[in-house]
Structure 1
Amino acid sequence: MSVVGVNGEERGDFSAAESRHIRRRSIRLLGSLLNPVRARLVLTMAVVVVSTIAQVAGPALIAIGIDHGLPALLEGNATPLVLVVAAYLLTGVIGAALIAWYTVLAARVSQAILIDLRKRVFLHTQKLSLEFHESYTSGKIIARQTSDLDAIRELLDSGLSQLVQGALYMIFIAAALFSIDWVSGVVLVVFLVPLAFLARWFQVQSQRVFRQTRVASARLIVHFVETMTGIRAVKAFRTEKRNEEEFAGLVEGYRERNARVIQLFGVFDPGLVLIGNVALGIVLLAGGLRVADGGLDIGVLLAALLYTRQFFAPAQEMAMFYNSYQSAAAALEKISGVLEETPSVADPTRPVDLWRAKGRVRFDGVEFAYKEGSVVLPEFDLELPAGQVVALVGSTGAGKSTLAKLLSRFYDPTTGAVSLDGLDLRMLHPKDLRRAIVMVTQEAYLFSGSVSENIALGKPEATREEIVAAAKAVGAHEFIEALPDGYETDVNKRGGRVSAGQRQLISFARAFLADPVVLILDEATASLDIPSERLVQEGLTTLLADRTAVIIAHRLSTVAIADRVLVMEHGRIVEDGTPRDLIAGTGRFSQLHAAWRDSLV
């Protein structure tokens, strides 16, 4: 996992090597986004070049009209002045029409880029392994898809056009000024030196401040999203006051960083005005003296003054839009960091097909650690025959859920191999793997939509009869029929319309319909009350029939349906046997069972 991509987001500054890496990464991403629209981009650039030339031609035409058209008119020849006025009007119309066309073209290019980028972020984050999502909070992902993409959209929609037009405008104005009066051009070039120093100072300072602003904004969004997502915990533990203080601190930090941005503009904008006014004064002085000596036409002087004044106007506009540029650049850094992440559990380059799995599972010399130096499973060996229902019990942190994640291939072992029917899971085609192995977790997540759509999640092509049969098999049909619209009832966001136990029953029906050869139940009955648990026990018998199953449970009532019980401690199996044999013994499971039985009295 990329250190710069994830950990770097928490900091507002980077080392020189990291900054170079980020810059190259962002440029590569930008290049890949521009490549599909390069034809439209070339057309857009051509339009903006021609429209800028048309706009810049105005002062030069005014000079021609004053110095040549007016004298000719005084001599009775109005044709030169009429032609100059016609040319002036024509360039104005052409410039306006091309600006309108350019605006439409630029909008289409920007929307194409944004659609491409938005899809990339969504699709890529789906492909990333569970390890990434467990370390990169949902609030940060939301920030990438919302505030960061909005910053890029603002730049593409308005800021970029101002920057491009402004830069071309300044270049063409300088060229035009040199063509009519090289002395005024030299004066302009001299004042480019303080302008360059001011712009460089602003760039260096604002780049650091804007990056800090993006970090502060992301932290603000993360805190807000996590508070709203965990509002039940907030209410239960009365943490509103503490959250208010923490949020206030984040808001204040965000305000301080924005205040620094304003301070930078408070120096930059007046500096631009001062440089522009001094340059204009010197051009007027030098030109006025030459007009008095007869060495310069009055029309040329007027054009030189207009060009000098217009030259600094885009600089001021670009400064106003530099905010959006820096915000978008920082946002592109964040997004490129996410897109640079690679799945820690990669798909095989040459996958092996397993059309009909039998369900024999083997852990061969498996060692696993979430972090280097912190081994969870040391040299783990286990074989599960096809069709066997195995219960995993043990204290919290014993390694049960880790075992389930390895079997589901949410993670790959550090050493050793996990195999299905003799084939390493790392070699199986992803579709075959997901079809063969399904996990039902304690958190039965339901998506917005109907009950039937949630049951058919693993088999979208399922018929209504198949969906109803799956619900009946796990004991969910009766309560579903009692819902307002039956199987078409919208479960609402995250299944808020049904109880926790009902959500779990729907997830069981989902697993039954998917019909995996290996089923993993990770504390899947923990959220059920006693009546619901008794109801689902019968459904579980149907669900687990003729398939290999691994049941992780603290409730030992669920363990009773297992063929085999494995007791784990510190990543090792300390007991292995049938439920009846282990209960009759004097080991760890017998003690757990006795304590559970006493708790029911």
Structure 2
Amino acid sequence: MNIPLRQYAALLRNYLKNQRASIVWLSALLVAGLAMQLINPQIIRYFIDSAQGAESNRALWIAAGLFIGVSLVQQIVNVISVYIGENIGWVATNKLRGDVAEHCLRLDLSFHKSHTTGAIIERVDGDINALANFFSNFVITLLSNLLLVVGILVLLFVEGWVIGLGMTVFVVFAMYAIQAIRKYAIPHWGRLRQISAEFFGFLGEHLEGTEDTRANGATSFVMHKFYSFLRKWLPIRIRAFMGWAAMWITTIVVFTIGNAIAFALSAYLWKKGAVSIGTVYMIFYYTELMAKPIERIRTQMEDLQKADASIVRIRELLDTEPAVRDGIGTPLPQGPLEVRLDRVRFSYEEGASTLENIDFRLEAGQVLGVLGRTGSGKTTLARLMLRFYDPQDGEIRLSGVPIRDATLQDLRTRVAMVTQNIEIFQGTVRDNLTFYDDAIPDDRIVGVLEELGLRDWFASMPDGLDSTLESGGGGLSAGEAQLLAFARVFLTNPGLVILDEASSRLDPATEQKLEAAVGKLLERRTCIIIAHRLATVQRADRILILENGCVAEYGDRAALAADPGSRFSRMLKTGLEEVLA
């Protein structure tokens, strides 16, 4: 799982380019801190050598003051650099998190059907959190620590080539050992991130379906699967931890070897009289100081091994192309839209056709009633109209414009769909109806609510349009949620409205209340009604009956009703609910 350097560079370039000033300041502070770390051992050597031969304490006071002053300034510099580095990482990871979330929202339904919500959340949040240090100060800290090591080696070479060469051999050995352990540990972190995503995907899915789980007595099954995940997770986590532990133990061993080399070389040079006791202490100080950057480099490598796995997974997600591509921008005309399907074929899976040879034309302003048994392709037809999926063959045109040529935003503004499953989001009444479109005035929203018969419900809201609705529609009846969905359609003013069994959850009283509003909604608009009640399709101009993904019957509703041999006529005689059961 080795990531090419160009991918690291691309991520850093894309998400740090707007923070150049902060990066310059961070670099300057880290270099200043590096310089002070190199100066302090020189001050200590001067202090020790002066203490041995000085007749007055003046030199000692000066050295002590310099050491304390440099140490204080160094701590201040460290605090400021940590603050700037964390801020850089926060801004960069939030930008990346936003880009990944936006990319997921652009992906078509086939992606979301094949990935659980929890797995996607783990990608958007968990993987990106693992990159926080990578963005905040990874490169700068790594370079500054490497420069610190090089600076120490240069100063040691100045003191003597023997001590300089010995410590250089130690550093090369240390870097090689750490890199070798890192290569061993990387794959385990990748597998750990993957099973983490699977686990949270499973957990999110079953927490969302708690009521069904308990109602069907499936709690034991869910818990069995839960513990199965934990049993699978544990050995992978152990291997990942062992990789971290191996790096930690390797660092301890390496530092011990470094101290032994420094001790041996210092003893040899001191016995020869080549160095003073102050220089001996300085060599030890530099050796101990060298342990810090090597330890930081090890930590950076540990973070990098986590980042490696996360970068791969995020890169794979960002490289996932939506199966539904945006159009070239051909505008859809205003007003009611004509609908034309020309030999449309579609299947969710290769070799299993869902819709076959669908061919019909619906004039602008007309209402089409779509009937068929469960699984006949009614809802799939609606999804194709909104380009949640694209057909494998054939073409769909709205007022002569192929929907592949229109932008997705334009298409989904001009075509609106209301389903029987209504999503109510945590937020205000206004935001749930307008989806944060500030261009829609409040008086228009209130007017639509009143027109739909929601005057009393709206009057009961404590803060009016600013009242907060619960996620999932808690506190709302099915009828009220359905009527709010109709209000959304009214506010977007589309040219084509698709009602996918939108009144199936309504009680008769609420359905009657809705009828008048639906009549107004359909004025100067084309409508496709997917229904399983006779009353719903009585307003249709045309009838389309699907069977096993094919057109079983299509024609004028009145003509089909008057034809004793038509399927629609038999449905009317038998009872629609019985025929479609």
TM-score, with structure 1 as normaliser: 0.87
What corresponds to 2:174 in structure 1? 195
Q: 1:73 to 1:492 in 2, by over 3 A?
A: same
Aligned residues of 1:448 and 1:490 also touching (Cα < 8 A): yes
2:205 is the alignment partner of 1:223: no
What corresponds to 1:554 in structure 2? 532
1:522-553 CA distance string (max 9 Å, x none): 12122223443343334323322331111112
1:61-83 CA distance string (max 9 Å, x none): 3223434x345514x6x665555
Match of 2:480 among 485, 497, 502: 502
Question: What letter corresponds to residue 114 of structure 1 in structure 2?
Answer: T
Q: 1:596 to 1:421 in 2, by over 3 A?
A: closer
Match of 2:18 among 29, 36, 40: 36
Match of 1:213 among 169, 192, 208: 192
C-alpha distance in 2 between matches for 1:269 and 1:437: 59
What corresponds to 2:553 in structure 1? 575
Deviates more, 1:527-536 or 1:557-566: 527-536
Question: What letter corresponds to residue 101 of structure 2 in structure 1?
Answer: F
Q: 1:487 to 1:300 in 2, by over 3 A?
A: closer
Q: 1:411 to 1:262 in 2, by over 3 A?
A: closer
C-alpha distance in 2 between matches for 1:268 and 1:472: 67
C-alpha distance in 2 between matches for 1:163 and 1:320: 10
Aligned residues of 2:244 and 2:302 also touching (Cα < 8 A): no
What corresponds to 2:274 in structure 1? 295
1:13-68 CA distance string (max 9 Å, x none): x7xxxx658x755542332112222332133112201211211222233223434x
Q: 1:490 to 1:70 in 2, by over 3 A?
A: closer
Q: 1:303 to 1:146 in 2, by over 3 A?
A: same
What corresponds to 1:428 in structure 2? 406
Q: 1:374 to 1:520 in 2, by over 3 A?
A: same
SS at match of 2:346: strand
Alpha-carbon deviation of 1:116? 1.7
Question: What letter corresponds to residue 277 of structure 1 in structure 2?
Answer: T
1:428-448 CA distance string (max 9 Å, x none): 244442332111122111222
Aligned pairs for 1:269-308 (under 5 A) are: 269-308=248-287
Alpha-carbon deviation of 1:599? 9.1
1:71-119 CA distance string (max 9 Å, x none): 5514x6x665555444434432332232122122212322221232232
Aligned residues of 2:182 and 2:302 also touching (Cα < 8 A): no
2:522 is the alignment partner of 1:516: no
Match of 1:73 among 54, 71, 74: 54
C-alpha distance in 1 between matches for 2:217 and 2:178: 50
Q: 1:85 to 1:515 in 2, by over 3 A?
A: same
What corresponds to 1:533 in structure 2? 511
Alpha-carbon deviation of 1:355? 5.1
Aligned residues of 1:471 and 1:509 also touching (Cα < 8 A): yes
C-alpha distance in 1 between matches for 2:80 and 2:430: 49
Question: What letter corresponds to residue 56 of structure 1 in structure 2?
Answer: L
C-alpha distance in 2 between matches for 1:143 and 1:533: 41
C-alpha distance in 2 between matches for 1:509 and 1:426: 28
Match of 2:43 among 37, 42, 61: 61
* Residues matched between the structures, number: 578
SS at match of 1:378: strand
Match of 2:67 among 57, 73, 88: 88
C-alpha distance in 2 between matches for 1:290 and 1:459: 78
Match of 2:27 among 45, 49, 56: 45
CA RMSD of aligned residues (A): 3.0
TM-score, with structure 2 as normaliser: 0.89
Match of 1:407 among 367, 385, 392: 385
Aligned residues of 1:143 and 1:221 also touching (Cα < 8 A): yes
2:122 is the alignment partner of 1:140: no
Aligned residues of 1:211 and 1:330 also touching (Cα < 8 A): yes
1:267-319 CA distance string (max 9 Å, x none): 33233222322332232223212311223322222211221222224333444
Deviates more, 1:33-42 or 1:23-32: 23-32
C-alpha distance in 1 between matches for 2:432 and 2:30: 51
Match of 1:438 among 400, 406, 416: 416
SS at match of 1:398: coil
1:468-506 CA distance string (max 9 Å, x none): 443344444455445666666533112111122221121
Residue identity (%): 28
SS at match of 1:184: helix
Aligned residues of 2:178 and 2:251 also touching (Cα < 8 A): no
What are structure 1's unaligned runs of at least 5 residues? Answer: 1-13
Alpha-carbon deviation of 1:145? 3.3
C-alpha distance in 2 between matches for 1:409 and 1:266: 51
Deviates more, 1:321-330 or 1:291-300: 321-330
C-alpha distance in 2 between matches for 1:234 and 1:537: 36
C-alpha distance in 2 between matches for 1:424 and 1:599: 35
Alpha-carbon deviation of 1:335? 2.7
C-alpha distance in 1 between matches for 2:451 and 2:147: 71
C-alpha distance in 1 between matches for 2:537 and 2:120: 38
SS at match of 1:427: coil
1:390-440 CA distance string (max 9 Å, x none): 011112332222221221122233333221111122222444423321111
Q: 1:459 to 1:158 in 2, by over 3 A?
A: closer
Question: What letter corresponds to residue 396 of structure 1 in structure 2?
Answer: T
Deviates more, 1:392-401 or 1:337-346: 337-346
C-alpha distance in 1 between matches for 2:437 and 2:53: 86
C-alpha distance in 1 between matches for 2:432 and 2:313: 33
C-alpha distance in 1 between matches for 2:327 and 2:106: 14
Deviates more, 1:29-38 or 1:459-468: 459-468
2:352 is the alignment partner of 1:352: no
Question: What letter corresponds to residue 204 of structure 1 in structure 2?
Answer: K
Q: 1:293 to 1:436 in 2, by over 3 A?
A: closer
Alpha-carbon deviation of 1:203? 0.8
Q: 1:467 to 1:272 in 2, by over 3 A?
A: closer
2:77 is the alignment partner of 1:98: yes
Match of 1:124 among 92, 98, 103: 103
Question: What letter corresponds to residue 91 of structure 2 in structure 1?
Answer: A
Q: 1:482 to 1:276 in 2, by over 3 A?
A: closer
